[in-house]
Amino acid sequence: MRARRLAAILTGTGLLAGATAIAQPVLDFAPAEVRRIRQHGPWPAPVARDPSNRVSGDARAVALGRRLFFEPRLSATGTIACATCHAPERAWTDGRRRGAGLAPLDRNTPSLLDAALHRWFAWDGRSDSLWSQGLKAILDPREMGASARHVAAVVGADPTLRCLYDRVHRPPPEADAEAVLVDVGKALAAFLETIRSGRTPFDEFRDALLRGDRRAAAAYPLAAQRGLRTFVGPGRCSVCHLGPQFTNGEFHDVGIPFLVAPGRVDGGRHEGIKRLRADRFNLLGPYNDDVIGAAATKTRHVEPQHANFGQFKTPSLRNVALTAPYMHDGRLATLRDVVRHYSQLDMERIHTHGEQLLRPLRLSEAEIDDLVAFLETLTDPRAASGPAPPAVPEACAGR
């Protein structure tokens, strides 16, 4: 149902092959609105090589990481692969309210689309690199439950994996299990960097608007234009959901209860910073390949503050229509529920010592419709299709 509705929206914007664009008026956006709309592009945004990962951008590492991503033997039980929870055909998430590896988890599984552009990883920013976040999933008893020794043994024993590994990394898997674990994380990250979303109806509209092409801009649904106007204007959504990724990459308390279970709370960013600092795989540790040291600037300067309690990462809104349910604990089933949450915000719930940023938007039902229509146009039609099955490079094929 959701896929059919999205297809209808994308067809209406003329983005899908064979679609006929329906001419509609273009709202008369004020110069200040156009400036804000401009800031949400261009797209795709360039991805720089990760200096903390010496195999970032290395095609051989991408091949290894791709194979590892779909490899359930990396888990302690041989049953959970990265792709189990980050399913390519589900826009690299799982469609569940809360994730589940070897045991149930407390939070919604984030999509991996465009993860290479993130500053912090996981809802609480417990990781400062893509590669170290992958290691946490492998080692967490509730996710894949593995150990460095287990991972090194799997890589060392499988002829294809071993061949792929030896093309990228030294020393061999028998040498140092922890070093192999880190190499696995870095190869996985090299693959994840290639998971990028493409252009969306919004991007076509933005670019047409900026070049003054009203004919092309008119293909963008009027409801989405009105929603966009609310988004960059009175809704103030773009204060946090800013830039080409529609996120500032930082952390906020948006009024979602942090009680996970009776007597147990989710400390959010406060807990995340503590875990980051205790992490031997963080960018201040021995496995950071950045010789200049600039990559660790964020880690060196971040400190837990009282206001961090109950804060969670501002998610990107690109392809958000494909990644339901929503919020850090998956409590909201639809985009309409999310917009309604901000419309009816419970100010009593917002941390009293925290920032004064949010206020109830008090939107009408029509305005809610418009905002949802806008959010749905942030969808790349190909984002949920995923990659072809992992191919083994010729040099390692048949092993």
Partner 1 sequence: MSARAGLVAAALLAGVAGSAEACEAPAGFTARKRLASKDVVVMFRTVPEAIEIGRHFSVEAVVCATPPTQGLRVDARMPGHRHGMNYRPTVAATGPGRYVAQGMMFHMPGRWQLVFDVQRGGRTERLATDILLE
Q: Which residues bind partner 1 (CB under 8 A)?
A: 35-36, 119, 239-240, 242-243, 248-251, 297-298, 300-303, 305, 307, 354-357
Q: Which is nearer to partner 1, 93 or 314 (CB)?
A: 314
Q: How far is the CB of 370 from partner 1 (least distance, A)?
A: 23
Nearer to partner 1, 194 or 248 (CB): 248
Nearest residue (CB) to partner 1, 20 versus 356: 356
Rounded least distance, CB 242 to partner 1, Å: 6
Least Å from the CB of residue 49 to partner 1: 17
Q: Are 311 and 68 in contact (CB under 8 A)?
A: no
**Smallest distance, partner 1 to C-beta of residue 80, A:** 33
Per-residue H/E/C for 192-246 = HCCCCCCCCHHHHHHHHHHCCCHHHHCCCCHHHHHHHHHHHCCCCHHHCCCCCCC
Backbone φ and ψ of 252, nearest 5°: -145, 155
Choose among 153, 191, 150: nearest CA to 172.
153
Question: How far is the CA of 41 from the CAs of 75, 154, 244, 324, in angstroms?
Answer: 39, 42, 4, 24
Nearer to partner 1, 185 or 267 (CB): 267
Distance between CA atoms of residues 107 and 97, nearest Å: 8
Q: Are 75 and 168 in contact (CB under 8 A)?
A: no
Q: Which is closer to partner 1, CB of 98 or CB of 349? A: 349
The residue (of 98 and 351) whose beta carbon lies closer to partner 1 is 351
- Shortest distance in whole angstroms from residue 300 CB to partner 1: 6
CB of 391 to partner 1, least distance (A): 36
Q: In 3D, which of 289, 235, 253, 218 has the Cα closest to residue 53?
A: 289
Q: How far is the CB of 291 from partner 1 (least distance, A)?
A: 18
Q: The tokens of 321 are what?
A: 């229509």
Nearer to partner 1, 107 or 270 (CB): 270
Q: Residue 245's closest CA among 113, 90, 342, 126?
A: 113
Query: For residue 187, what is the DSSP state?
Result: H
C-beta of 355: minimal distance to partner 1 in Å?
4
The rounded distance, in Å, linking the Cα atoms of 93 and 96 is 8
Exposed / middle / buried, residue 263 (Cβ in 10 Å: 0-12, 13-18, 19+): exposed
Smallest separation, CB 33 to partner 1 (Å): 12
Nearer to partner 1, 60 or 252 (CB): 252
Closer to partner 1 by Cβ: residue 174 or 250:
250
- 60-85 burial: b if 16+ Cβ within 10 Å, else e: bbbbbbbbbbbbebbbbeeebbbbbb
CB 135 within 8 A of CB 185: yes
Alpha carbon distance 170, 18 (integer Å):
50
Q: What distance in Å separates the CA atoms of residue 260 and residue 35, rounded to the nearest whole number?
A: 40
